[in-house]
Amino acid sequence: MNVFLVETDKTGLQKFYEEIIGKFETYAPVEKFGKYDYKRVLKLSECNPDSPIETTMSVKPLFFPKTAKIMKFVEDSSGTTVSETEEDPFAGKRVILGVKHCDARGLQVLDQVYKWDYIDTDYQKRRENTIIISARCDKAGAQCFCTSLDYDVENSDAHDIRIVNGLNGKTYIQAITEKGETLLKSFSLQSTAPDVAKDEISKHYKSFEASFRLKMNYSEVNAKLQKLFDSPEFETVSSNCISCNTCAFICPTCHCFKISDEKIKDAGVRYKSYDSCNNGYFTLMAGGHNPRPVKYRRWRQRAMHKFVYYKERFGVNLCVGCGHCAISCPVNISIFDVVNQVAKV
C-alpha cells in the first residue's frame, strides 16, 4: 500500500473538498426528496460527503447509468440508417466524493464482468477517468455486513484516496493508488506520514470492524449454498417478496440490462436500461417458454448468483454487503437473512 499520507483537521478537510469541487467535475451525495444520491455539485454546501451510511442508490449509476443511449436510427424508403449518439456524458475527468467502502468495492467487483468476454469500452473509460474519494465510514449501519464477505477493509485498494478519522479531531487523507497520489501532489500537499498516523488508521479500522452487528461465516455459507440448489427453503424465504425490481436497481453490483426503443414517427433512439432477474418477464423467451415462471426460482437465481456463481467464475463475491437492498425493500427482505436461512440446514 502507498504511504502518501496527509495529516489535517476538520477545516483542512473542508478546504480540500472545496478545492476539489473548484478544480474538477465533482459528484457527491446530495439530498433530494429526503434521500441521498450521488449528483454533480458546484459548491460544498450543496452536498454532504459524510452523508448518513446509506445513500439510496449506490455509486453504480455514475458508471452504469440507469439509462444510456446506444444509437440513433432513421427509417425511410431506402431502409434504416443508424448513427452514433452524442458523446458519453460521464466520459470526462471527474472526482467522486463520499464513496462508502461497499460502493467502491462494488465497482471492483463489477470490473471483473466488464473486462471479461466483451470489453465494455464506455465503462472502462468512465472508470479510468474517475478518482474515487472515500467517505469517513466510522460506524456500521444496521444492514452493513461488508467485512463478512472476503473484504479486508483496512488494506483495501477500492478507493483512490481514503479519508480516515484519527484521534483528537485529526483527519488523515491517504493516497491508495497512483491516481490518488498524483491528485494529492497536484494540490501541493505534503506527505507527513508519521508512524503514529498509521497506528491510528489501523485502530480506526479495528473499531470500525467491531461495530458490525451482522456477521456471516462467508466460506461456510458459500460452501453450503453450492449444494442447496433444490432447497425448499427458497420458497419460504421468498414468500413475501412482491417481485418488484428495487433491490436489483439500487444494488451496487447488479448489471443486467434491457434494450428498448423510443420512437417518434420514423426516427428514434435505442436505449439500454436496467433490468432485473426478479422481474417475471426477465427470462421469458420468444414462443412463450419461461424457465423461471415462479417467484422462488427467481429469488434462488438472485441469491445463488450473488453468493455462488460469480465467485465460481471470477473469484469474488457479487454481493458486497452494503445493505442497500434491505433498506429500500418495500417489504424489508434482507439478503443477509435469506442466505443465512437457506444455509442454516
Is there binding between residue 139 and another protein (CB under 8 A)? no
In DSSP notation, 209-255 reads HHT-S----HHHHHHHHHT-TT-THHHHHTTT----SHHHHH-SS--
In whole angstroms, the minimum distance from the beta carbon of 337 to another protein comes to: 6
Cell numbers linked to 204:
480506526
Which member of 232, 330, 344, 345 binds another protein (CB under 8 A)? 330
3-state SS, residue 204 = helix
Q: Which stretch binds another protein (CB under 8 A): 16-24, 84-92, 118-126, 274-282?
A: 274-282
334 binds another protein (CB under 8 A): yes
Q: Which of residues 1-30 bind another protein (CB under 8 A)?
A: none
The one among 212, 271, 299, 310 contacting another protein by CB under 8 A: 271
Binder among 78, 79, 186, 281 for another protein (CB under 8 A): 281
Judged by CB under 8 A, which stretch of 120-128, 155-163, 308-316, 325-333 contacts another protein? 325-333
User: How do strand 25-32 and strand 94-99 relate by DSSP bridges?
Assistant: parallel
Identity of residue 71: M
Residue 295 binding another protein, by CB under 8 A: yes
Q: Per rule CB under 8 A, is residue 298 in the interface with another protein?
A: no
Count of beta carbons in the 10 Å neighbourhood of residue 341: 14
Residue count (the chain): 345
How many CA atoms within 13 Å lie on the side-chain side of 139? 4
CB atoms within 10 A of CB 275: 19
- Counting contacts by CB under 8 A, is residue 283 touching another protein? no
Least Cβ distance, residue 217 to another protein (angstroms): 17
Q: Which of 268, 297, 309, 314 binds another protein (CB under 8 A)?
A: 268
User: Which span (110-118, 121-129, 162-170, 237-245) binds another protein, by CB under 8 A?
Assistant: 237-245
CA distance 105 to 110: 9
How far are the Cα atoms of 35, 83, 105, 185 from residue 5, in angstroms, in the given order?
A: 32, 48, 21, 11
- Measured from the CB of residue 229, what is the shortest distance to another protein in angstroms? 22
**Should residue 32 be labelled a site residue for another protein when binding is judged by CB under 8 A?**
yes
Are 165 and 139 within 8 A, CB to CB? no
Report which residue type is found at 321: G
Binding site for another protein (CB under 8 A): 32-35, 56-57, 66-67, 142-143, 213, 239-240, 242-246, 248-250, 258, 260-263, 268-269, 271, 273-274, 276, 280-281, 295, 326, 328, 330-334, 337
